[in-house]
Structure 1
Amino acid sequence: MADPLRHDTEVGALRALAGSGLPVPALVEVAPGSILMTYLPGERLDRLDAQRQLDGLTASSGLLRQLHQMPLPAGLPKAPDDELIIRRYRDAGGPPLPLRIPPAHRPVFCHGDWTNGNLLVTDTEITGVVDWEAAHIGDPLRELSRAAWGASLNDPRSFDALVDGYGADRADVMAWTPVHAAELWLWFVEAGPPEYLASLTQRLTNWPA
C-alpha cells in the first residue's frame, strides 16, 4: 500500500476490530507499505445477481450498526471535510444540487467505504468486511447514506434495504445524499472515466427539486 496514512489507518482499524465479532481479517504481519492478513471465505457481493446483492446489503446493515456502536479507536482520521467538498464542487461547476450539511450526530467508528465490493458473502451471510483504509471517526448517518445512495445507483431498492435494516429515519439519511453526489462527481472529474462522469452529470442535472 503506497499511501502511508491509508496503510496506518487500515492497521489501526483492524487492531481495534480484533475480538469485536465483526467478520474482518486478522493481522498477521505488518511492514511499511504492506499488510499481511488472514483469508476470509466468500464471494464479493458486487459479483452476484441483483437479488443476492439486495439480500446481502440487508444482512450487512446490522453489522454496520454494530460497528457504529463500538468504542471510538484512538488514532483514526477525522471524517471528510464536507464544507470543502461542497466548495470544490461549486468551484468546479457541478450541476446545481441542494447542498447543505445536515445536523451532526454523535461521532462513531466508520468504515469509510461500505460498498458491495467490500462485502464478502456465502448465501446471504456476510463472511467478510474488507478494505478498512478509509476508516475514520464520523457521523453514522453520513456513512449509512453514502452506502445506501451508492448502492442505489445500481439498484434503487438498495437504499431502503440498508436504511430499513439499519433502523434509521429515511428522511435523515436522504438529507446527506446531495453531499455524496457532489463527492462522487468530483471523484470522476479527477479520476474518470469520462463516460461515468457524463452519466453522473446527467443524473445530477435531473436531481429532484
Structure 2
Amino acid sequence: MRQGAVGSVRVVEHYGRALVEKRMIDPLRHDTEVLALRALASCDPPVPELVEVEPGSILMSLMPGERLDSVAPQVRLNGLRASARLLRRLHAITPPRDLPRAPNDAAIIRRYRDAGGPPLPLSIPPSAGSSFCHGDWSDANILAIDGAVTAVVDWESAHVGDPLRELSRAAWAASRKDPRAFALMVEAYGADMAGVRAWSAIHAAELWLWFAEAGPPEYFEQLTLELKNWPAGQAAN
C-alpha cells in the first residue's frame, strides 16, 4: 500500500482480476480524478480504466510498467523524453467541463514571501493559454517499460492551466535529480527554453511551502539550502 496526502493506494483482487484501489480523503480530488480519467478513456496519454467509482474510492485497472523514479538513470531520461511528447498531446486535448482552475500563483508568491523563504526571482510569466493539465506530471506518476511510457497515473490534481507552467514544473522537478532532464524535456515538448525557465522559481516556492507545511524536515532543509544557492545573475524577490 502507498500512503500519501490524497489517501491510500493498493492493489486488490476483484472478481479474479488484479486492480488498483485508490481511497481519497478529499472529495474534490476524488471527483477530479474520475472526471479526468473519463475524459481520457479513448485518448492519449494511456491512463487506467475506471472499473468502479464509489464516494471516497476509485477502482481502476492495474497498468503495466515501472515508475520512472525507480529505474536506471538513462532509462529514466528516455522515459522523460517520451513523457514530454505525451504531455504536449495532453495539452492539445479539450479539457472536460468542471475541471478545476489552475493554482493561484499570486497567492503562492505571497505565501512564500510571508513565510520567509529564501530570496527567489518570483514573478508570474505571461500566459501561454489554457490547457488540460495533469497537475503533477512527474517521474513518480509515469510508468514505462524500457523507456516507453505505458501509463500516466494520479490525476487528482488535474486542472485547466498554462501549458508552459506545467511543462516547467515537470522539467524543473526532474532536473533536481538529473540536470540534463530540463533541456531534454523542453526540447522533446518543442517549447521555448526561456519561456519555460521563467516559471522555475514559482515551482521552487510552491515545493518549499509544501515541505514547510508537510515535511519531512530533511527534505525541507535540503531544499532551503538549494534555494539559498539559486543560480547567480537572476533577480531575487
Q: How many angstroms apart in 1 are the aligned matches of 2:90 and 2:122?
A: 28
Q: How many angstroms apart in 2 are the aligned matches of 1:108 and 1:21?
A: 15
Equivalent position to 1:40, from 42, 54, 63: 63
Q: Percent identity?
A: 65
Residue 198 (structure 1) aligned with residue 221 (structure 2)? yes
Q: How big is each residue's C-alpha offset from its partner over 1:58-102, in whole Å with a ceiling of 9 and x where there is no partner? A: 011111000000012101100000000000000000000010000
Secondary structure at 1:109's aligned position in 2? Answer: strand
Q: How many angstroms apart in 2 are the aligned matches of 1:126 and 1:139?
A: 23
Equivalent position to 2:52, from 17, 29, 34: 29
TM-score by length of 2: 0.87
Q: How big is each residue's C-alpha offset from its partner over 1:98-120, in whole Å with a ceiling of 9 and x where there is no partner? A: 10000011100000000000000
TM-score by length of 1: 0.99
Secondary structure at 1:96's aligned position in 2? Answer: coil
Residue 111 (structure 1) aligned with residue 151 (structure 2)? no
Q: How many angstroms apart in 2 are the aligned matches of 1:72 and 1:122?
A: 28
Q: How many angstroms apart in 2 are the aligned matches of 1:7 and 1:175?
A: 31
Q: How far 1:161 moved relative to its partner?
A: 1.3
- Which residue number in structure 2 is paired with residue 158 of structure 1? 181
Q: How many residues align?
A: 209
Q: How big is each residue's C-alpha offset from its partner over 1:113-171, in whole Å with a ceiling of 9 and x where there is no partner? A: 00000000011210000000000000000000000000100100110111010000100
Q: How many angstroms apart in 2 are the aligned matches of 1:177 and 1:128?
A: 26
Equivalent position to 1:77, from 100, 104, 108: 100
Q: How many angstroms apart in 2 are the aligned matches of 1:105 and 1:174?
A: 13
After TM superposition, what 4+ stretches of structure 1 lie above 2 angstroms from structure 2?
none
Q: How big is each residue's C-alpha offset from its partner over 1:147-202, in whole Å with a ceiling of 9 and x where there is no partner? A: 00001001001101110100001000000000000000000100111111111111
Residue 175 (structure 1) aligned with residue 192 (structure 2)? no
Contact 2:44 2:86 in 1 (8 A): no
Could you list the runs of 5+ residues in structure 1 that have no partner in the other structure? none
- Which residue number in structure 2 is paired with residue 125 of structure 1? 148
- Which residue number in structure 1 is paired with residue 34 of structure 2? 11
Between Structure 1 and Structure 2, which shows a larger proportion of strand residues?
A: 2
Residue 185 (structure 1) aligned with residue 208 (structure 2)? yes
- Which residue number in structure 2 is paired with residue 57 of structure 1? 80
Q: How many angstroms apart in 1 are the aligned matches of 2:215 and 2:190?
A: 34
Secondary structure at 1:114's aligned position in 2? Answer: coil
Could you list the runs of 5+ residues in structure 2 that have no partner in the other structure? 1-23
Contact 2:208 2:224 in 1 (8 A): yes
Between Structure 1 and Structure 2, which shows a larger proportion of helix residues?
A: 1
Q: How many angstroms apart in 2 are the aligned matches of 1:16 and 1:170?
A: 30
Structure with greater Cα Rg: 2
